[in-house]
Amino acid sequence: MSLYSRMAAQNIRKNARFFLPRIGTEAGLVTCFYIMLTLALDDRISRVKGGNYIPTFMWMGTAILALLSVVLMLYINRFLMKQRKREFGVYNVLGMEKRHVGRVLFFENTFSSLLSVAGGLLVGMIFYKLCSLLICRLLQTGIVAGFYYVSPTTVLPTAAFFLLVDALVFLINRVGIALMKPVELLQGGSVGEKEPKVRWILLLLGVMMLGAGYFIALTTKSPLEALEFFFLSVMLIIIGTYFLFVSGSIFVLKALKRNEKFYYRPQNMPAVAGLLYRMKQNAVGLASIAILSTGVLVMISTTITLYAGMEGVLDKNYPHELYFEAGISNDENQTTFFPPDELESMLRSAAEKNGVTIKTVEQNEYLYAAYLLKDNRLYVSGETDDYDLTDVGNYFFITQEAYRRLSGENIDLRGNQIAVCSIYNPSGIKELTGTLVIHGEEYEIRQNLYHYPISASYLASSFACYGVVVSDEEALNGIYLKQKEANGQYASEMTKRIAVTFADREKAAAAGDSLDADLRSALRKKAGDDAVISYSLDTRWKAKEAMLGMFGTLLFLGVLLGTVCLFATALIIYFKQISEGYEDRSRFQIMEKIGMSRQEVMRTIRRQVLLVFFLPLAVAGLHMAVVFPMLTGILRVLMLFSVKLFVFCSLGTFAVFALVYTLIYLGTSRTYYRIVH
């Protein structure tokens, strides 16, 4: 082993207080990255019921974690280098050239990097099986045997990514040392911030951006607008938070300093002066803690709410367990639907064959037609040439009585009043307001709906889908006859389907695939081998499978990323406590020498630490409270309407997080007190 490698190994042992958190942090990031990447690439888990969402969400999580990893590793490196610049300066003064210091730094970086990556991969391989079992549990599906632990397609990219990050960190350190003079290296660990001035431009921008973000969050009433403006609001709040921590905190501290009655007290002056002296450095770290804490609260509370409220969403949108419709299409794209009586007969035969008992059967009727939407006017094909594919949409029409019966919700429509639901839009969901002209007649849009009880799974998702509720049968028949006249041989017929409730829901769900196959066989036998059959079997159990896949995967991802953010928060607090401890030690020793008692010094320390480290928690709680209405709107788009459930989950998440945050503070503050004394 060379001299430089031995010195590097000795330095790591000597500075274990700094290096162990760095190695543990990177190992934890490697573990999470490996697990997410493996879940994204494991085709066996993607084939379980509801598992089709896993690759997409895991790739998203991997990208977010990659960005977070780079930021965290750069933050840790900045702290380590500040604490060790004096040590490198001593090496330089004793005769080692900067290139020799660089070699020591290279071996330190290599050893810690290899330990982190190897340890993280090993833990990831061990815990991957546990995570795969957990996600199968969340999806409420059977355990899939044969999850692999080691694969070059996941091990190599994970190792390569973090080794590249570590190489970037080493390059930054090497260039920084090469550019600094020995005197600067000797002073690097003790250089403090000059008393900062109020940056009025940043203060003004911070107030404006945070105010704008809050304004958007508090004034956005429509759930669809909440979905559209959420990320804009979040970005404004994040930037505004950083600016106000950097400039607003200095403004407040200087105001406190000017208040002689407050400032010139033994318990206040040291805390305020100390914070003011280094506030630029503190502010960025504190703002980061506040933003990460807010991210933890938002991710965990929303994903838990979605998962916990899934049954309520299913009950609201699927009052029956099965919806069945079928028809025969001709060469002119016209569909003749089977009468409900025939559909019921087929279903009863299939149910009897599979040992399933039908409890109730209800007939539904609706109109489906395609239109071009331009300036709140619906055109049929050929009425206008001024359009593009984004104007094409599929429209479902039902009466308000049918809507009330299917959804359990009441709406009050009269005459030419309608309610509209934007079910799906590939170019971005948007609400329709004002009036809607249908076949030359104006209809007042009285209400926008956020879920629609009619679905047709055979429709292509490349076009927008809208649901329209009209006042009564007369209005529905009027639209039906006018579209018949306008479209001629391409006109749509009234769709008839049956809604079925089973005596044993679980037994019906277990026989779902067999019911589907038997119904398809009965339809083919009825229609003939050459007939083109339009077929839709919309079931509660299939919807539950899809929702479990989406919400279960989101919950897993939210908890995993939330844990990473919480870990990052703890890490920033830990390093900040150490940094503050070394910088405060000499100042508090001076205070004791000039007459302050040990109790007064301890009270001053406690006051300063409490102010610094609990401010981000308060700011995170404020951010969560402000964006709560917008988050509620987004959850409504995802069909969750229980505000009480979201309030309960949010308060519970905040309480647990505050407890964990306090424990982190208590644990790290002991390190701070040991350093100070």
Q: When comparing pLDDT for 156 and 637, which is higher?
A: 156
Q: When comparing pLDDT for 369 and 54, which is higher?
A: 369
Does residue 257 have a pLDDT over 60?
A: yes
DSSP code, position 426: T
Residue 587 is assigned to a structural domain of this protein: no
What's the confidence (pLDDT) of residue 555? 83
Label each residue of 357-397 as H, E or C. CEEEEEEEEEEEEEEEEECCEEECCCCCCCCCHHHEEEEEE
Residues with Cβ within 8 Å of residue 106, at least 6 apart in sequence = 4, 8, 170, 174
Q: When comparing pLDDT for 349 and 455, which is higher?
A: 349
The confidence band for 533, taking pLDDT boundaries of 50, 70 and 90, is confident
Instruction: For 424, list phi and psi in degrees, rounded to 5.
Output: -160, 140
Q: Residue 556: exposed, middle, or buried by beta-carbon count in 10 A (0-12, 13-18, 19+)?
A: buried
Q: Give pLDDT tens digits for 291-340.
A: 888 888 888 898 888 888 888 878 777 778 888 888 887 766 667 788 88
User: How many whole angstroms separate alpha carbon 440 and alpha carbon 436?
Assistant: 10
Name the residue among 53, 165, 142 with its Cα closest to residue 557: 53
Q: Residue 648: exposed, middle, or buried by beta-carbon count in 10 A (0-12, 13-18, 19+)?
A: middle
What's the confidence (pLDDT) of residue 50? 62
What's the confidence (pLDDT) of residue 457? 43
Whole-structure pTM value: 0.71
The confidence band for 465, taking pLDDT boundaries of 50, 70 and 90, is confident
Name the residue among 194, 256, 462 with its Cα closest to residue 248: 256
Name the residue among 383, 370, 371, 373 with its Cα closest to residue 335: 370
The confidence band for 48, taking pLDDT boundaries of 50, 70 and 90, is low
What's the confidence (pLDDT) of residue 192? 47
Q: When comparing pLDDT for 191 and 580, which is higher?
A: 580
Residue that finishes a domain, picked among 501, 523, 539: 539
What's the confidence (pLDDT) of residue 129? 78
Tracing tokens 């709107």 back to the chain, one arrives at 633
Mean pLDDT of the chain: 79
What is the secondary structure of 561-578 as a DSSP string? Answer: HHHHHHHHHHHHHHHHHH
Same domain, 182 and 329: no
What's the confidence (pLDDT) of residue 282? 66
Quick one: average pLDDT of 614-643?
84
Which two structure tokens, joined as six digits, stand for 451?
């879920």
Residue 431 is assigned to a structural domain of this protein: yes
Q: When comparing pLDDT for 51 and 209, which is higher?
A: 209
Residue that finishes a domain, picked among 191, 224, 251: 191
Q: Give pLDDT tens digits for 133-173.
A: 777 777 776 665 555 567 788 889 999 999 999 899 888 88
The CA–CA distances, whole Å, from 9 to 4, 14, 106, 177 equal: 9, 9, 11, 20
Quick one: average pLDDT of 36-41?
84
Residue that finishes a domain, picked among 491, 508, 539: 539
The confidence band for 228, taking pLDDT boundaries of 50, 70 and 90, is confident
Residue 488 is assigned to a structural domain of this protein: yes
What's the confidence (pLDDT) of residue 175? 81
Quick one: average pLDDT of 37-64?
76
What's the confidence (pLDDT) of residue 460? 37
Q: What share of the chain is helix, strand, coil (3-state, %, to 5)?
A: 70, 10, 20
What's the confidence (pLDDT) of residue 470? 93
Q: How many domains does the chain have?
A: 2
Q: Give pLDDT tens digits for 355-375.
A: 899 998 887 788 888 888 888
Q: When comparing pLDDT for 460 and 22, which is higher?
A: 22
What's the confidence (pLDDT) of residue 159? 92
The confidence band for 623, taking pLDDT boundaries of 50, 70 and 90, is very high
| Residues of the chain above pLDDT 70, percent | 77
Residue 448 is assigned to a structural domain of this protein: yes
What's the confidence (pLDDT) of residue 418? 93
Tracing tokens 């590097």 back to the chain, one arrives at 8
What is the extent of the structural domain holding 73?
A: 1-191
What's the confidence (pLDDT) of residue 584? 63
267 SS3 class: coil
Residue 620 is assigned to a structural domain of this protein: no
Quick one: average pLDDT of 121-130?
84
Q: Give pLDDT tens digits for 74-112.
A: 878 877 777 676 666 666 666 667 777 777 788 888 888
Does residue 585 have a pLDDT over 70?
A: no
Which two structure tokens, joined as six digits, stand for 399?
């009466």
Are 26 and 122 in contact by the 8 Å Cβ rule? The answer is no
What is the secondary structure of 597-647 as a DSSP string? Answer: -HHHHHHHHHHHHHHHHHHHHHHHHHHHHHHHHHHHHHHHHTT---HHHHH
- The b/e string for 568-598 (b: 16+ C-beta within 10 A; e otherwise) is bbbbbbbbbbbbbbbbbeeebeebeeeebee
Residue 264 is assigned to a structural domain of this protein: no
Residue 403 is assigned to a structural domain of this protein: yes
The confidence band for 399, taking pLDDT boundaries of 50, 70 and 90, is very high
Quick one: average pLDDT of 267-294?
70
What's the confidence (pLDDT) of residue 221? 72
What's the confidence (pLDDT) of residue 468? 93
Residue 307 is assigned to a structural domain of this protein: no
Does residue 201 have a pLDDT over 50?
A: yes
